[in-house]
Structures are given as structure tokens and as C-alpha cells.
Structure 1
Amino acid sequence: MLQATNVPGMHTYGPPLPQPNRFFQRGFGWVLGAVWLFYLGQPLNTILARPGGFAKWFSLGALALFALSYVLVFLWTRRMHLERRDPPLKAALGWLAATLLLGLAMIPGAGGDWMVGLVYIAASAIMVLPPRAAVPVVAAIAAQPLVLPMFIPSWQHENGLFFSIVLAAIAMFGVTRMIDHNMRLTDANREIARLAVAEERARAARDLHDILGHSLTVITIKAELAGRLLPVAPERAEAEVNDLEKLARQALADIRRTAFAYREVSLEEELASARSALSAAGIEAKLPRAVAEVPEPRGTLFSWAIREGVTNVVRHSGATRCVITVRPDQVEIADNGRGPAASGAGGSGLRGLRERAEACGAQLSVGRAEGSGFVLRVSVPA
């Protein structure tokens, strides 16, 4: 589907992309914080019931600023969580102190009903303070509806308000923990996705190395052989050049299949390819003419082992003879060449083969063959 764009000369294919909802991006936090302000209806009604005067309007302004302060604390804490940061302790204590002062400023008009604001202060303490600091602060706040009426007879004991403060603190604690867990879950999902991408890249790198390494090695050897045969045996050189064309086409097809993640190998094909590569390199090949059916994923693992082993024999061994043995539980590639390197460290091909073997629960062994030469063995437990 062709979609118009605002950029001259550019066309976009595909359905229109959904646009982000600005309400959920910006307004949702305000709504979520402000929805709990209806509890301030009790001190608001008390203030509005007073006759006009300084106390009434001063307390009404303090109430409005108190409500705004709570919403701002909520939004600030929400932003801190989204940014994976803890609220600074000094700023948190300063904000709580300012909110408390605004609550006390409601006393001239609201009287004892100002203590409803303690519910919001306790919830704010849970939001902005670490748990160890928030618990004693909430305990002190919750005690005020029980303690203050003892000293101010005109204020009624508020047992219900005590439980409201405790429940609000517990509820806000649950909300903050849920936010933290959701953020951790998001981080974990991102890490899983990153690891999946890394694993897929490693798989593609192994496949490309094994395919290109083997194919290019055989192509190089056959090209050298065709060059040597051209002056003395043009007909054989022509046959080798034809083989080169087939190998190049096959390598291109393998790369395309690998790019689309359905590259498959089989023991029979790898044995035939190994025979051709060893023959072109002038190495005597002793290979099984046929093999019993090997179950997957073992058969694929053995095929990659043969491909990697033969590539190393042709490239590095200097051998004149190579023996490949295939059993239902094991494959072995041995030569009579110069043997393993002194360091004993394998290249990227052996590392990739080791990763394949570990994924199948198999064991990769490399080292010196009996007498001389190099042996590569992959064994699968019965």
C-alpha cells in the first residue's frame, strides 16, 4: 500500500502508523494523581460553611495549594520511576515539609477536619521516601488523629482517620512496588530481546563462517588445480572450471538460505562434498560410502563437524590422507598431517562447532591423532 508523505520525492509503503495518544503520554499522570482528591471534600465543605473573611479565603487557598502539591509529588515520583531514579532524600523531605505546612495552613477555616490531609501526606511519604525512612514517618502521621484531640478539645478523635492513613500508606506501597516490578519486567523483557538478537547474530555468524569457509576453500583449490591443468590437460581444466561455477552457485544459494534461516545440511551431501574437496586438494580420502540414518539434531551436528573438519584438513594440515568415520553416536575426522597448533586454541570455526555441540548436549574433542596428524571428534552420549 502506497502512503502519501509530506517529504517531496519520498513514498512510504505500508499502513499508516498509529499516532501516540497525547492524553496517555501527558494527561494520564494528572488524572491518576487528582482522582484521589475527592477525599478533601470534608475540609472543603467545612471551609465553605464558614462566614466570609480572611480565615475562610486563606484556608481555601491553602487547600488548593495542598491539593496541587500532592498531585505534583505524584507526578514527580512517577517521573523518577520512569527514569529509573530514586527521589533525592533532601528534596523529598523538603516537599513533605511544604505539604505539611500547607495542611496546617487550613486550620483557621477547616479546624480539626484539616487532618484529612494527613492521608495524602502519608501516601506522599511512601512515594518519595525509602521504605526504612517511610515507615516511622507514616507511623508518626497516623498517630496524630489520636493524639492531637487530647490537647485540642474542640477536635474530635478520628479513629476512622487513623485506619484511613494506614490503609492509604499500604495501598500506595503496593502501587509503588507494582510500578517497580513492572519496570523490572520491562527491563527483563528488553534484556531477553537483546540476548535473542545476540544469539541470532552468533548463529548467523557460525553458519556464514562454516558455509563460506568450506565453499571458498574448495573453490580456491579447484581454481589452482584448473590453472595447473590448463597447459597440459585443457579438457580436465575445463571440467574443473565447470565445477567451480557449480560450487560458486551452490555457495550463493547456501548464503541465501542462511539469510532466510532455513539452511539445512545432510550427512550424505557433506560426505560427497568432502570427497570432492579432498580429491581436488590431492588428499587421499577414506570415507563411508553410505551411513545409517542419524536422528536430528545429531545428523545436522555431524554434518557441520564434517564440513569444519574437512575445511581444516584442506587448509592447514598439509596431510596426504584423511579418514572420516561416522557412527550413530560419533563422527571423527582424522588426518596424517602436521598435527594441532602448539597453542591448542581453535579458530572461529571450532568455536562455532563447540557451541553447536554444547547446544545438542554433545562433546567436541580435538587433538593429535595416533602417530601423527590431527583428529576432530564429536560424540553424543547414548
Structure 2
Amino acid sequence: MEMSKESQGPFGPKVGKGWPVMGLFFVLAWMPAIGWGVVHSDLPTWRMWTLLALLTLYAVGYLVLPFLLWGRPVRNRLFAIFAHLGVGIALVIGLGLDSMPLLIYALAMASFALPTRPMLMINGGTLAGFAVIILVTSPVHGPWSSWVTLISITGCLSAMGRMLHVNRRLQEAQAEIAALAVSGERARLARDLHDILGHSLTTITLKAGLARRVLETSDDRDRAMGEIREVEELSRQALGDVRATVSGYREVSLSGELVGARAALRAAEVAADLPHAVDNVRPELQQAFGYVLREGVTNVLRHSQATRCEVRLGENWLEVRDNGRSSCAKVTSSRDSGGGNGLSGLADRVAEVGGTIEAGPLPEGGFSLRVRVGEIATGDQPEDRTDSVVQRRTSQVRPSVGLA
């Protein structure tokens, strides 16, 4: 059974080739010093050897588990990570609470190998449990500094794990969009060429055959020449149709972008509320709105952490909104948006049809990107829920400002 993208972890089924070196570096940076301290302590022999065995098992698990777990079902990874964490907790209990930062190795494994919910449960439960132990045993003079160190590093590792996970899902969504686009456009081009050329080539074949028979059976050269001239005209017409088809194949269409947006949002596990037709949009605006839709959905996937995306269309307006983070940082990204990307590129495209771009957070949370051309007719007005903190006319957008 194929695993879901969420179950595969941020790195997918394979671990990078650099992990043995990097993992060994992290192990050698600290664990040998812990072992040295255990050997030269006054602990009983049985306890010393037990701690050394636990330390060795803990280090080996940290190095080996990534190769064994990545790409496995979540339940298998949960079992192994619980076992590794149990070894770490036993080691901390044996060494003392001051050694709590040793748990970073196990919690890092959970941060990078597990989906968000089980990761938060394991990491949060471990941190909360040790906080309770400190409060019970020594609330004033307890090793709070070690606990703060552990929670700080764990928080950073958890954020890195989520970022890698989201980036991988975005790459998969982009790859799926590209594959769907290539497959769909190939099928459309084949269909269009068949429809356009089928009749023309059939007619050319019939008329060429007729001209041949006329020349073979009679001396009616005028009739034969008329048929040949019609063949020539049909050939030129077919060539023009092919060129028009290829030109259309390279253009952006609003309906095609809706299909791509639906596939991208589905791949990223974002609930999509999209229109099923674009007939209500003025034909001369559909190409420009196609670029707006593409950019808006890309920003939902890259920046918003949204779980829902809505697209609304009218005769001369389009709106993309989500329920993610309502941050203006999405609008004021410092990346150069040359080549038609970002808000500046959208502004140029919309300016060609005399339109306006408005972007900003929604009062109830989320973000809205809206484009309109001219005045919106009564009854066709989109729901006005933006906070108007970011509102730019296309003629005033600077090239250095981008959405993506």
C-alpha cells in the first residue's frame, strides 16, 4: 500500500549520503566526554558499565535509525523512536537531571522523522514530564538551565523539521503539477491537431487523387489545375492552423490554471474551493487572470501554512484567499521579481488591461489577493473582507517587490 506524503517524513524514503559524517560529528562532539566522565566517576562497577552500555546504544541508535526508519510507516517509526527515547531517559536518570540535554538526540529524531502531531506529543510530553520531575524534586535549585537548554534546542529542531517537511511537500506538488501539465497539454495538443488537421488532410488527399485521375483519364488540364490550386490553398490553411495551435499551446489560460491549482492544492493537502467554469469572466481578461491565479495559489502553498484556499471569479475581478498566516511579509518579500514573477510581474500584466491589485490580511485571519479591472457591477461584488493594509495600484508597484 502506498504511503501518504505526510507519513514519509521530511526527507522521504532515503537519507542523504552525508548523514553518516554529520551524525558521527554530533555524536563525537559530546558523547565521548560523557563516557569519559562515567569511567572516571566513583560509581559502582555494575552501574558504570550499565551507563556505558546505554550510552553506546543511544549513540548507535542515533546513527542507524535514520537509515532504518525513513520511508517506513508511521507506526514503525513511532515504536523505534519511543525505544530510542526510552534509552535516553534511562541514561538521564542514571547520570542525573543535569544531563537532560542528552535527550536532544532522541527529540531531534522525532522532530525530523515524524508528522507534526506525534512529534509534538512526544517532544512536548518529554519536556513537560521533566519539568514536573524538577518541580517535585527541587523546584528552586533544580537544573532549570539544563531544561531551558533542552527546550530551546528542541524548539529549533522541531521548526527545522517542519520546514523541511513543508518544502518537500511543495517540491512534490510542483513536480506533480509539471507532470500533469505536460500530460494534459500533450493530450490537448494531440486532440487539437487531430481535429484541425483531420478534415484538411482528408480533403487534400481526396482532391489530389481526383486531380491525378483527371490527368490520367482525360485532357481536362483546367479542371486538374483547379483541384491542385485548392490542394495548395488547403495546405496553406492547414499550416496556419498548426501554427495557431502551437501558439495557443504556449499561452496561459484561466481554465488550465484552475486545473493546475486544484491539483497543486490537493497535493499539498489544502482544501480547495474553486470555481468549475470561467465563462463569467470576460475573454480578454482570462489570460491575465490566469497568471494572477497561478501566483496566488503558489503563495498560499509557500507562505501561508493554510488549510483552505478559496478562489472567486467575476466578470472583471478575481480573488484568491486562504485561512493561513495573515502576514504582510508575503507581499513585501525582498526577492527580485524579474521575469514576470511576484507582485511586480502581476502588476505589469494587470496594468495592460487597466486593472488594480489589492492584497492584505483578512480580519478573521488569512490573506486575500484581489484583482479587478474597472468598476464592479452591482451583484457581482466580491465579499470585502481585506484589511486594506496593503493596497497598490498596478502603476505604483515597484519592480523590487514580489509576492513569491
Range into which the TM-score falls when normalised by the shorter chain: 0.3 to 0.5
- TM-score, normalized by length of structure 1? 0.48
Higher RCO by CA contacts (8 Å cutoff, separation 6 or greater): 2
Which has the larger Rg?
A: 1
